[in-house]
Amino acid sequence: MNRFVVFPGFFSVLLMAGCSSLPDLDAGKRALTENSSAEAEQHFMALSRRGFPEATLLLGDIQRDQGNREKALELYRQSLELGVDKAYSRMARLHYRKSAGGQSPEQALSIIKEMEEFDELQAKLERANLYHEWPELTPFDTRLKLFDELIASGIEKACLYKGTALLNKVLDEERLQPDREKMTEAWNCLLGVVGSEHQALKPAIQLVMVFPEIGSIEALKDQLEDSDLGISRLYAQLGKAFYSDENKTTESLLAAKEYFLKATETDHEAWAELFRMALKYPHVTDSEELSEWFEKAKESGFKEADVWKAKQFLAGVYSITDPFSAEKLLLPHVEENAEASFLLGRLYLTEMLGQARFYEGFELLSQAAEMGKPEGYLEIARILHEGLGIAANPIQARIYAEKAWQMGARRAPELLYEIEASRVSESGQDSKQDSVIQSEG
Amino acid sequence: MEVRNKIIKTLTVTTAVFTMATSISASADWSSFVNARVSHDRATDSYLGSRDTKTDFGITALDVRYGGVWQNDNLGSLDLLTRFYLAGSDKEIGNTGFDDNNSRTFAELKRFNYQLTNPVHNGEWQYAIGRTRFRESSGMMWDKDIEGFSLGFHSTLLNAEVRVSERLMAWRTDQTDFFNEDQKIRYYSGIVDYQWFYQSHISAFVLHQDDYSGLQPIGSLHNSEDIDRHDRNATWLGLSISSQFEQGIAVHLGVQTVKGEGVDSNSSSVGSKRQITGQQTYDISGWLLDAGVWWEMPQLSSWFGVNLTLTSKGEDKGDREGFIQSDLASNRYRASDLGLSFYKTGYAYRQTLENLSMVSLLYGFRQEQWRAGVQWNLIQRRNSKAGVGDSQISTEEGLIAGNHSLGQTLDFEVSWLPENLQFFESVDRVQLTMRAGLFRAGDAYGNASGKTRSRVLLEFKVRQDLEDF
């Protein structure tokens, strides 16, 4: 082979070998699925600087998932300018999704109107999503008409929306004289999509519990038996339905326990529900049974079993409070489990293990927040505000509380209000003292 | 050769069956499709009336392709494409009308390769082995089903591949389409493409063609289709740069060089056979320049482009020392994301890029269900005393020394991809295509100057993904 081939050939191989660490969209997406958002961000950032619109969009997703709404919106706007139409939906959702802290559905509606110009169906679906979350924005009939249009276009999710809307209409306004026809229609809608839309299960069970003559658990079982969702999700939802019974009678809690236990056979999440209930209502089980559940949960691969056991030790339910055992259980999980990081961080800030370890505590709480638990920042803010064991620092407290609020911590506004109120009263006292000094002078 | 072919075929089929069985037993995911195509390709006389016998032709064909991919995270993927040419009918039109009717039917293994992704690093590396298809954006290496081994690195910014390939045998039941001319040629290639900014690329390739077959001895007699007409050992190097700007303007510039040597066989008719009368050795040393500008006009769903192609003209000795293309070259356009496949030198002319200068104007239109394109070429011979490459035009008189103009071509292509056809509502994709090409000879063709040749293709394709069926 002549030299013209050998040199460029080797050159190509060397070039390929040396470039394995180049930024790459797929590598970034893989990092995201492996919960390594810092690595993903590096890939997307480098590509975004090189003008890749999708990378800018994905950077927006990372910011959104970390609770930085404004930053996410800015990045979505940038990717929209670069021609990524998907950014419309994401922007709208940030404005209307309550779980993402969205409180401005009107703004979302104006974005959806822009969307209509180039993707009518997607815009309609987005509008339906919005009306489902904010039903008060538009009359019932208008919503129903939109859902029907989407159902006619083959959008299954619209059946969930229609069923939920009909059910809520009856529950809110016609509970005493329910329209049987409406309820049957709602049931048919929900039953039809319960196998593919997991959100349909909750209203379907609600309908069965309120109108047992129209829907039945058996029908839901039939529907879910062969579906991707699986029957365990039904049991978990039934457990939740009994658990959320307003009266919380022993019977309803025992029924919930039974369903949660059935669900744990295939659904790990049901363990969490079961432990939550057991720690809150100790009379539904005993310490022996609870220990057995922890073992089973661990064996079945439920990674958070240790964290729940630590919670039990910390709460002193079924046994005396045992912070040392809790620490031992939590330590191996702090790197990958936000809850473990949060609990241990909070434990270190107390004197339960001896002297408080503020530095480690703050580190762990920050880590928990970075892993998606904003309460970590909120806890730091509370310590700094109240000066529990350290000097109070209202400015830093406010910064952390704001961070927690941006990430969607529910109690953040309350703490922010407290911080602000105490700052005002302190400055008021200062000004009074100033006036005394001046008058004395 | 026959024994070697049998061994390779047996090994390939055994490997295929073993891999398929392993993939299936390992719960690998198999997705398959069927593609049916009915086409009619009709062209007028390629001698431009310079012979007594007209040689218009028409081919009507029905072929069905069955393909699929086995995919497994651990074992890699197996890519298969078979073709069943069910009712191909060639009709040559003589003075007395349709007097020659060669109907054909055959089955062919088009593509069959095993590919493993992620053997080294995070899914960016992959290697493939088997009967593969490969492409290079300038058209120097394009669309051949050829046995080979490749190692590639594919990422957002960098795509690179090294490959060794050789067409080892005919995989058709009628054993045609694999002539002596195409045998014992090995290709070594390397391609690197780096996207330094979004939609801005710099690419380089190297291709070495090693034809180790050797020509038939002078004086030997052969059937016309068995003659090995040339051996070429040459290396091509290419470099191209392209960039798309915000205003919708895209530019590209490509240069290629070739260096090597070749031997051509001369032959003459002896009864029904041809006898090798001599061999001519020549050096190959040439270059090609290809540059173009495209405007994208989204409000009109259109693209407009201007392109210039120049290739070296060689010496005046009659030697073929200009730019010569490799035996893999196909010369299809990939200047823009049109979804159309124009031939650079026109559908009715299809000359290889040798000793020519060509100006092209292109227009493309694409909306949801429609794609259309128009291409006009003005083609000149740069060295009016030297020959040009192969084309579909062959006049008795040949090219006239001193005249530059080879002619003009005009191509038109339109495709309709309906989304909701009631009759085909259960089918995944339907496509109806018409491609028409017109060539008007220039003064280099002497008496045939001003004469035209046209070619029209009508094609109807249906595709069904079988997992949805």
Provide DSSP, B352-364: -SSSEEEEEEEEE
- pLDDT at position B272 over 50: yes
Of B287, B262, B265, the closest CA to residue B275 belongs to B265
Comparing A245 with A280, the larger pLDDT belongs to: A280
Could you give the CA distance from residue B391 to residue B388 in angstroms, rounded to a whole number?
Answer: 9
Please check whether residue A278 is in contact with residue A250, taking contact to mean a CB–CB distance below 8 angstroms: no
**Pairing mode, if any, of strands B97-117 and B76-94?**
antiparallel
The Cα of B140 is separated from the nearest Cα of chain A by a number of Å equal to 16
Q: Which residues in B lie closer than 8 A to residue A50 (C-beta atoms)?
A: 157, 195-198
Token digits of residue B208: 């070495």
* Closest by Cβ to B155, choosing from A4, A22, A53: A22
Q: What is the pLDDT of residues B19-44, one digit of tens each?
A: 666 655 555 577 888 999 999 999 99
Could you give the CA distance from residue B404 to residue B446 in angstroms, rounded to a whole number?
Answer: 11
CA A433 to chain centre: 47
**Out of A70-74, A231-235, B305-309, least confident range:** A231-235
Token digits of residue B184: 């014992």
**Out of A9-23, B264-278, B332-346, B368-382, least confident range:** A9-23
Check CB contact under 8 Å for A1 and B196: no
Check CB contact under 8 Å for A8 and B190: yes
Comparing B427 with B379, the larger pLDDT belongs to: B379
Could you give the CA distance from residue A407 to residue A401 in angstroms, rounded to a whole number?
Answer: 10
Location of structure tokens 């590598």: A27
- Whole-model pTM? 0.73
**Out of A162-176, A208-222, A263-277, B6-20, least confident range:** B6-20
**Helix, strand, or coil here: A102?**
coil
Please check whether residue B360 is in contact with residue B332, taking contact to mean a CB–CB distance below 8 angstroms: no
Please check whether residue B76 is in contact with residue B127, taking contact to mean a CB–CB distance below 8 angstroms: no
Query: pLDDT class for B144, splitting at 50, 70, 90?
Result: confident
The Cα of B131 is separated from the nearest Cα of chain A by a number of Å equal to 22
What is the reported pLDDT for A41?
93
- Answer positive or negative: Cα dihedral of A101, A107, A111, A112: positive
What is the reported pLDDT for A431?
47
Helix or strand run (H / E) with residue B84:
strand B76-94
Could you give the CA distance from residue A57 to residue B412 in angstroms, rounded to a whole number?
Answer: 39
What is the reported pLDDT for A425?
67
**Amino acid at the residue B67:** G
The Cα of B97 is separated from the nearest Cα of chain A by a number of Å equal to 52
Give this complex's ipTM.
0.80
Query: pLDDT class for B90, splitting at 50, 70, 90?
Result: low
Token digits of residue B151: 């190692």
What is the reported pLDDT for B469?
44
Check CB contact under 8 Å for A27 and B155: yes
Mean pLDDT of chain A: 84
**Helix, strand, or coil here: A435?**
helix
Of A57, A58, A51, the closest CA to residue A27 belongs to A58
Share of chain A above pLDDT 90, in %: 25
What is the reported pLDDT for A433?
46
**Amino acid at the residue B110:** K
Average confidence (pLDDT) over A62-87:
90
Which residues touch A335 (CB under 8 Å, ≥6 apart)?
A341
* Closest by Cβ to A22, choosing from B120, B158, B235: B158
Comparing B258 with B424, the larger pLDDT belongs to: B258
Query: pLDDT class for A119, splitting at 50, 70, 90?
Result: confident
Could you give the CA distance from residue A427 to residue A424 in angstroms, rounded to a whole number?
Answer: 5
Cα angle value B279/B280/B283 (rounded, 5°): 145
- pLDDT at position B98 over 60: no
Please check whether residue B147 is in contact with residue B130, taking contact to mean a CB–CB distance below 8 angstroms: yes
Of A220, A226, A213, the closest CA to residue A238 belongs to A220
Mean pLDDT of chain B: 83
Q: Which residues in B lie closer than 8 A to residue A19 (C-beta atoms)?
A: 153, 155, 157-158, 160
Q: What is the pLDDT of residues A375-430, one digit of tens each?
A: 999 889 988 888 877 788 888 889 888 888 877 788 888 888 888 888 766 655 55
Please check whether residue B418 is in contact with residue B455, taking contact to mean a CB–CB distance below 8 angstroms: no
Q: Which residues in A lie closer than 8 A to residue B162 (C-beta atoms)?
A: 9, 12-13
Q: What is the pLDDT of residues B323-365, one digit of tens each?
A: 888 888 888 766 556 666 788 899 999 998 889 999 999 999 9
Check CB contact under 8 Å for B123 and A9: no
Check CB contact under 8 Å for A26 and B155: yes
* Closest by Cβ to B235, choosing from A2, A16, A47: A2
Q: What is the pLDDT of residues A198-239, one digit of tens each?
A: 788 888 888 888 888 888 888 888 877 766 667 777 788 888
Of A217, A205, A220, A125, the closest CA to residue A164 belongs to A205
Q: Which residues pair with B35 in a beta bridge?
A: B65, B463
Could you give the CA distance from residue A242 to residue B147 in angstroms, rounded to a whole number?
Answer: 65
Which residues touch A90 (CB under 8 Å, ≥6 apart)?
A57, A60, A61, A64, A72, A76
B2: exposed, middle or buried (Cβ count in 10 Å: 0-12, 13-18, 19+) = exposed
Please check whether residue A272 is in contact with residue A265, taking contact to mean a CB–CB distance below 8 angstroms: no
**Helix, strand, or coil here: B436?**
strand
Could you give the CA distance from residue B240 to residue B203 in angstroms, rounded to a whole number?
Answer: 5
In B356-424, DSSP assigns E strands to 356-366, 370-381, 405-416
Token digits of residue B37: 């195509």
Query: pLDDT class for B373, splitting at 50, 70, 90?
Result: very high
What is the reported pLDDT for A20?
58
What is the reported pLDDT for A344?
92
Average confidence (pLDDT) over A8-34:
72
Could you give the CA distance from residue A72 to residue A56 in angstroms, rounded to a whole number?
Answer: 10
